[in-house]
Amino acid sequence: MDNDTKILTAALVLMLIAFPLTAIGSEQEITALWVVGLVVLAVGALIPPITRYASPGDDDDGDGDG
């Protein structure tokens, strides 16, 4: 598995983890839990745009992976 895939998989996992954290946190009124859920989602969502500028081969001409 290449690095880009690993990074995006990590981002995806973080975004998915936000679901149980925000659901249980808000339903059970555990503020810390849903706050962590929001933070985890934000971190996961930040990764792909950041990698756009971090990885030198990732140009803006829309040429895909395939």
Partner 1 sequence: MNQSDVPLDIFHWLLALSPVIVLLVLLAVLRWKAPQAGPVGLFVAAAVALVAFRTPWDTLAVSVGKGVWDAIFILFVVWPALLLYRVTDRAGAFDALRRGITKFSKNDLFLVLAFGWVFASFLQGIAGFGTPIAVVAPLLLAIGVKPVMAVVIPLIGHAWANMFGTLAVGWLATLQVVDIEDQTRTAFETAILLWIPNLAAGLFIAWLVGRGKGIVHGLPMIGAITLVHGGVQLVLTLWNPVLSNFLAATAAMVVLYPLSRWKRYSEEFPDEALVMKGSGDDGDGGTDEVDEEKEKQKAKPPMGLAMAFLPYVVLTLTSVFALVIPPVEDALETVEVGLGFPAVDTGYDVTEEAEDPYSPFAPFTHPGFFLLLSSAVAYGVYRSKGFYEEWGEEVEESGSITTSVFSDAAPASVAVVSFLVLSKIMDHSGQTDTLALGLAEVAPAPVFAFFASWIGVLGAFMTSSNTASNVLFAPLQQTVAEAEGLSEASIIAAQSTGGAVGNAIAPANVVLGTGTAGIVGQEGQVLRKTLPWSVGVTVLVGAATVLLTQIA
Q: Residue numbers of the site for partner 1 (CB under 8 A)?
A: 1-2, 4-5, 8-9, 11-12, 15-16, 18-27, 29, 31, 34-35, 37-38, 41-42, 44-46, 48-49, 51-52, 60-66
Nearer to partner 1, 2 or 56 (CB): 2
For the CB of residue 58, give the shortest distance to partner 1 in the complex, in Å: 8
For 11, residues 6+ apart whose C-beta sits below 8 A from its C-beta are 44, 45, 47, 48
Cα 41 to Cα 10, 35, 46, 58: the distances in Å are 11, 10, 9, 23
For the CB of residue 56, give the shortest distance to partner 1 in the complex, in Å: 15
For the CB of residue 59, give the shortest distance to partner 1 in the complex, in Å: 9
Contact (CB, 8 A) for 18 and 38: yes
